[in-house]
Structure 1
């Protein structure tokens, strides 16, 4: 009779360990002193499609290219987030995640984003062009970084300027992965 509780306990532990495989794991710290956002954000101007140009690789984006982020305002003031990308090893490997963001500070430059129910992560718009043609996004741990543009294939000069800006913000460029669009 004592085997039944042991079997139940082992089954529970096995299920818990299996679930851990799907928990996003952060990469190494690439910026030990993440700066505060440089300027306020006009949410309405930030909405729309963005093309990822560079990022720190993360488990939930591993091997994704053709990555886009689409933002739209919900009636309740939150932001609908649709992240999409294609697995590089599989032409049919399209992946999409739908989430929600809420503003976390009066400048609109800090948001909290959730793709997993009640669990929210930081999304800081560290810098953006005055015309909202590019933005640099990070969060306080320094483990995540995204560089986004409105154009899927911006000129090399813009990409070079963004690379320089990322380095100026204190990010380790050796951890950056270029996203193929």
Structure 2
């Protein structure tokens, strides 16, 4: 009887641990001190965006000509297709994922997953009213993207975005400026 109670207790602890792990994979928060775009509308955000700049990380290492294409799924989630040219391996690479809102559907706080239950923060912190250019912060200061509907961005917008990133504590010397030559 004692052995059965020990096994039952161990099973309950294991289930609670797995449940907590899965929940933590899905829970994403907007970082402290960061304000996301209010009155955000998902439909105008859909379509293809060109990556202008980013902090490099393992999944985008050695990529140029990077685009992110968003489309609405029937269930309300967003299909995400990130594509870039790996200039070291001399081939195109693509990652497919999904995004959902963290909380309110009219705020630019989303979470994105490319790997099963694992989500990362995607926070739209600045955007032009015409949805032409956007500044995105991740859930930590290790992730930042400047996106545009065009392969280049106007200098005044670039400066505004860089000032906002610097004010938020981002190390701008880490920015990789994406080439679009293919």
Q: With structure 2 as the length reference, what TM-score do the two structures score?
A: 0.75
- Check conservation: 1:34, 1:140, Cα contact below 8 A: no
Q: Secondary structure at the match of 2:43?
A: helix
- Check conservation: 1:34, 1:141, Cα contact below 8 A: no
Residues of 2 paired with 1:34 and 1:56: CA distance?
A: 20
Task: Give a deviation string over 1:4-34, Cα, whole Å, max 9, x none.
Answer: xxxxxxxxxxxxxxxxxxxxxxxxxxxx965
159 and 36 in structure 1: CA distance in 2 versus 1, 3 angstrom threshold? closer
Residues of 2 paired with 1:44 and 1:154: CA distance?
A: 22
Q: Displacement, 1:105?
A: 1.5
Q: Secondary structure at the match of 1:96?
A: strand
Q: Displacement, 1:36?
A: 2.4
- Check conservation: 1:34, 1:142, Cα contact below 8 A: no
- Check conservation: 2:141, 2:169, Cα contact below 8 A: no
Q: With structure 1 as the length reference, what TM-score do the two structures score?
A: 0.75
Unaligned segments of structure 1, at least 5 residues: 1-31
- Check conservation: 1:34, 1:139, Cα contact below 8 A: no
Relative to structure 2, which stretch is displaced further, 38-47 or 76-85?
38-47
Root mean square deviation, CA, Å: 1.8
Residues of 2 paired with 1:86 and 1:35: CA distance?
A: 31
The correspondence of residues 48-87 of structure 1 with structure 2, limited to 5 A, is 48-87=47-86
- Check conservation: 2:113, 2:119, Cα contact below 8 A: yes
